[in-house]
Structure formats: C-alpha cells, structure tokens
Structure 1
C-alpha cells in the first residue's frame, strides 16, 4: 500500500489500462488452453477409422459418423469421408477437405492475434507511463529551483519506472502464451493435413 501511495497520479490511467489488459490476457489464455487441449490427439483412432472406411463399402457413411470429433482432424476427416462416400471427384473432395480444414484452423487461431497485440502494446504503454512520471519528476525538480537533492530525484525516477515494470509483467505472459498456442495450432493443422492426405491417397489407390 505504501508503494501505491507513492505512484504519481499521471501514471494511474496507464496502470489501470494495463490492469484491464492483464485481466483480458489471462482470460484469453485460459480460454484458449481449454479450447486447444484436445486438438492434437486421436491419431490412432483416425488411422483405425481410415482403414474401416476403406473396407466399409456401402457402410462408409456410418464409419464417418463414428469418429469422436474431439479433435479438428476428426471433424475434417469425417467431412472428407462423407465427400468420398458420396462419390465426388477427387478434386471436389480435396476442395471440401481444404474448406473444412481452413475453418478449423481459423477457429483455433481466433483471439491469438489479440494476445500478440497485448504483448506488443503493453510495454509501450508502460513506457508511456514512465515518460509521464519522469516529466512530473523533472517538473517538481524545476519547481524546487535546484534545492532538491539527488535522493528526491531518484525517488521520482523509481516511481515512474513502475509502469514500465507493469507493462513488462503484462506483455511477457501474453507473448509466451501466444507463441506456444500458435505452435499448438500449427501442430493441429499438420494433423488435419496428414489425416485427410492419407485418406485421399489411399482412396485413390483403391
């Protein structure tokens, strides 16, 4: 509480904004972790479904419907199986798989750019608060007409630097989370491409 009492009034708007960004960032990180937790699983089940589909004949549609659908690759594979079961040309099947895959990737990537934006803007806002605090410190020093000592000036500087520290505390978790979550989306996209590509290749051979 003593530290809060020494924060310059000019820095409070920046700190409040950074606090709001921090809350938003943490909520987004939690939501995306929950959303992306299952996106890379189910490879063995998909391979088994592919083999069943290729042997199913008229019952191929039922095999497509039996996929669990927890991972994006499950849902895209089911769409691809449905297109193949309907007898669509391979080009149309590939187009349908690409459309479904793009929709899944877009869903997984939603809000990640906002995390990137927070990680870039938060340090700049912290620096802005520091500059405003420094301006206030030097204004006080000027008003003292040289009677202020170095300790007073140093105190004003550390008070101003609080916003920079706050900005970094907001930006670092957002940047790390955005990077890790983006990597998980890319892995899930590879799973989609692998599953649908394997199904289409095997279907063409048969």
Structure 2
C-alpha cells in the first residue's frame, strides 16, 4: 500500500518576499544599492597604494635626507606623484627652510584637507545604517495597521488568514531594514578605523619631513658638518 504523499509547503522567492514587505521596502532596496556603490568606491579610494605609496615615501624622504633633492626638485617629485601623501609633502616643501612651526602648520593644513577627502561618502554609509531600521519600523507600523483594519472590518474570530497579510508585511519590512543596516554599520566602523589609521601615518611621515627641511634642521646639519 503506497503512503499518501505529503503536500508540499508553498515557498516564495526572495523577490516575492521583498514585494510582500510593502512600500517601505523600496527605499530600503534603493539604500542598499547606494551602499554597494559607495563601498566599492571607498575600497578603491582608500587603498594604501593610492594614499601612502611606500616606495614613493621611502625614496622621497631618503633623497631629501641625503641632500640629493633641492627644494625645486623635491616639489617636482611630489607633483609627479598622484598620491595623497605626495600632496601633503608638497605643502611642506613649499615652506622649505622656514621655521619648523610654519612647515608643520602647512603640512597639518594639507593633512586636514586630505583627511576630509578620505572621509568622503562615509556619512552616506552611516546614514544608510541609521535610516534603514527606521524605514523597516515604518513598514512594521503600516503592516500592523493593515492587520488591525482587517480585524475591524471583518469577523476575524477564528480566521487568522485575515491577519497574515499585515503581519507578514510588518515582519518582512523590519527584516529588510535590519538586513541592510547591520552590514552598513559594520562597514562604516571599518572605514572610519581605516581612515584614522591612514591619517595617523600621513601625520607621522609629515613630521619626518619637518625634521628634514625646517630651518632648525638646516642649522643642525651645518653644525654637524662644521
């Protein structure tokens, strides 16, 4: 005797589930697309090779220290490199021979501008991580309103199917918001940490240049030579 085949449990595709989350899911989908674009752009922009090329930094500082580069040649060397560190070095080189305070201030000013460039679009990521849960909450409220309207407009006693649509919309919108917001927050924290690390290294190398080209450094070299 053949056993009766159990009925298959109906399943939904991811698209069908998203569509069932109500209108608040669409802004969440758009936010996830924006997040993906910004993340790829920042991953490219914050590469160490693009910000702090080690070969350029070592070559430049060693030549300045050895005296094989004068002010004009050092400035040309910096301007020929597209990295952020090169622009910071160039700002310091323009104050070559000035007191250490002036050289350091020029490097700090350019470093601050560079830090702002490195932090570009990070607010967008932070905004996605903040707004998406709120959009999910909005969808939850709308779904619960739909469920209560079903109760108010029908004889819902013993008929849970009347509540299923609203509750499903509420849960799906909440899940969609959290599904985007949690990775966005983790990514934001990662990029903030990476930018802070790069800025610290830029400041460190800038200080090395101050110790090489300031008026005080020149006097120290002359004393040693004498």
User: TM-score normalised to the size of structure 1?
Assistant: 0.85
Structure 1 stretches of 5 or more lacking a match?
none
Tell me the equivalent position of 1:170.
180
CA contact (8 A) 1:109 1:185 kept: yes
Partner of residue 66 from structure 1, selected from 77, 81, 104: 77
Contact 1:72–1:188 (8 Å) recurs in 2: no
Q: Partners in 1 of 2:152 and 2:19 — Cα distance?
A: 19
CA contact (8 A) 1:122 1:170 kept: yes
Match of 2:151 in 1: 141
| Deviation of the 1:140 alpha carbon | 0.3
Deviations 1:29-62 (A, max 9, x none): 1111111113454235313311211332672431
Distance change (3 Å), C-alpha of 1:191 and 1:83: same
CA shift for structure 1 position 156: 3.3
Structure whose alpha-carbon radius of gyration is higher: 2
- C-alpha displacement of 1:24: 1.3
Secondary structure of the 2:199 match is: helix
- RMSD (Å), alpha carbons: 2.5
Q: Distance in 2 between matches of 1:149 and 1:188?
A: 60
Matched residue count: 201
Unmatched segments (≥5 aa) in structure 2: 1-11, 222-226
Q: Structure 1 CA distance, aligned partners of 2:151 and 2:19?
A: 16
Alignment of 1:190-201 (within 5 A): 190-201=200-211
Residue 79 of structure 2 corresponds to residue 78 of structure 1 = no
Q: CA deviation at 1:145?
A: 2.8
State the shift of 1:153 in Å.
2.8
Give 1:163 shift: 0.7
Distance 2:179 2:69 in 1: 58
